[in-house]
A = this chain, B = another copy of it.
Amino acid sequence: MTVSNQERLARVGLARVTEPGSLDIWAALQAASAEQVWASVRAGEPLGQLGQRALDGLAARLAVCDPQRDLEQLDRQGARVLCPGDDEWPGGLVWEPSAMSGEVRGMAPPFVLFAEGPHHLREAMAESVAVVGARAATAYGTHVAKELGFALAEAGSTVVSGGAYGIDAAAHRGALASSGAPTVAVLACGLDLVYPRGNDRLLGEIRRQGLLLSELPPGCGVTRVRFLVRNRVVAAMTQGTVVVEAAERSGSLSTSGRAADLGRHVMAVPGPVTSAMSTGTHQLLRQGCSLVAGVDDVLEVVRPMGEHLTVRARGPVHPRDRLEEQTRRILDALPVRRPVSVARIAAAAGVSTLMVQVALPELLGAGLVEQRDGGWRLTTLGASG
């Protein structure tokens, strides 16, 4: 399936006159081609479910819309228009809004994406994780996000975030520091704009080394709703979303909410209970989402079963740990310094002298006890651990 220039133009036009996630245009596209829908919008003529009232809502924007000019501008900028059917169109962006729960129920999937950067979007998204969180992050949160972004990229997972201050920026920066998988920023404005301004250098680096992505044509600024609607793209394209820090009822929980609505994995990083920036992640953990203390926790969740088996760091096993409880009790009854008799050990341990006589060879063999001056005492190893 190839996408014609006319269809591409039509989808840019449709993106111009509507807001991302709106149901009207999306519903019309389920029944007719993009060219048919765009023709009916331009003519102001109802088509199937796209009624007169919806068309009236598009009229004001239609008057100032020029998709051909948009395409030329994108071209000059080095950005591309992606449509369903393009090889680069990522998986995960298909759902039936009326069949979903939560806020995604009222949100349509994207029907066009604008992309800029030297990576193939679908390939980059094949193994990808959203790392999101508070803009007003703490030093702890940004540290963890950066480390996690780096480790995920090193492990070959694309780090997707929203390019915002705080956690988003730290996750992108961590990923950029790796020479592994790329990082993708999904913006809530046109690719010709930079929001927030303070992240212009970071977003420039992502444009050059990763991928900048948006549903919005050039010139469209951010609005509050656009941030929330954008978050469904971040959630839908990735296998799971990790929230690093979030205040209670914070906007940074929006992406994880979308991820849950869409059946994606939701993960959260715990933090100090004394930190307001961890109340949101602790609430997610109370609700049963997966706890993330490091990259292994993420890979264990998002990779198909068996591909990533976490070997958790363990302390070295002390020979003592391998002993039966009875034997361990006898070991505990031995002194560190002055050697004692088998009878004394038995009295201290509360076992028979026979049991002590049976246990001592094992303890001797394990290097835990030694015989001195006709009695028994602990070795340095036996006294340790």
Contact = CB atoms under 8 A, between A and B. Distances in A.
A70 to B, nearest CB: 16
Contacts of A285: 270, 285, 291
Interface residues of A, number: 60
Interface in A266-294: 269-274, 278-279, 282-283, 285-286, 290-294
Nearest to A355: B57
A61 B282 CA distance: 52
A64 interface: yes
Contacts of A249: 314-315
Nearest to A147: B274
B106 A352 contact: no
Nearest to A328: B225
A353 to B, nearest CB: 7
Nearest to A283: B312
A333 interface: yes
Contacts of A60: 343, 346-347, 350, 352-353
A61 B350 contact: yes
B22 A347 contact: no
Interface string A287-304: 000111110010000000
A80 interface: no
A332 B225 contact: yes
Contacts of A58: 350
Interface of A: 17-19, 22, 53, 56-61, 63-64, 106, 140, 143-144, 223-225, 247-249, 269-274, 278-279, 282-283, 285-286, 290-294, 297, 312-315, 325, 328-329, 332-333, 343, 346-347, 349-355
24 contacts: A22-B350, A57-B351, A57-B355, A58-B350, A60-B343, A60-B352, A61-B347, A63-B347, A140-B272, A140-B274, A144-B273, A223-B329, A223-B333, A225-B328, A247-B315, A248-B312, A248-B314, A248-B315, A270-B271, A270-B278, A270-B285, A271-B272, A279-B313, A282-B293
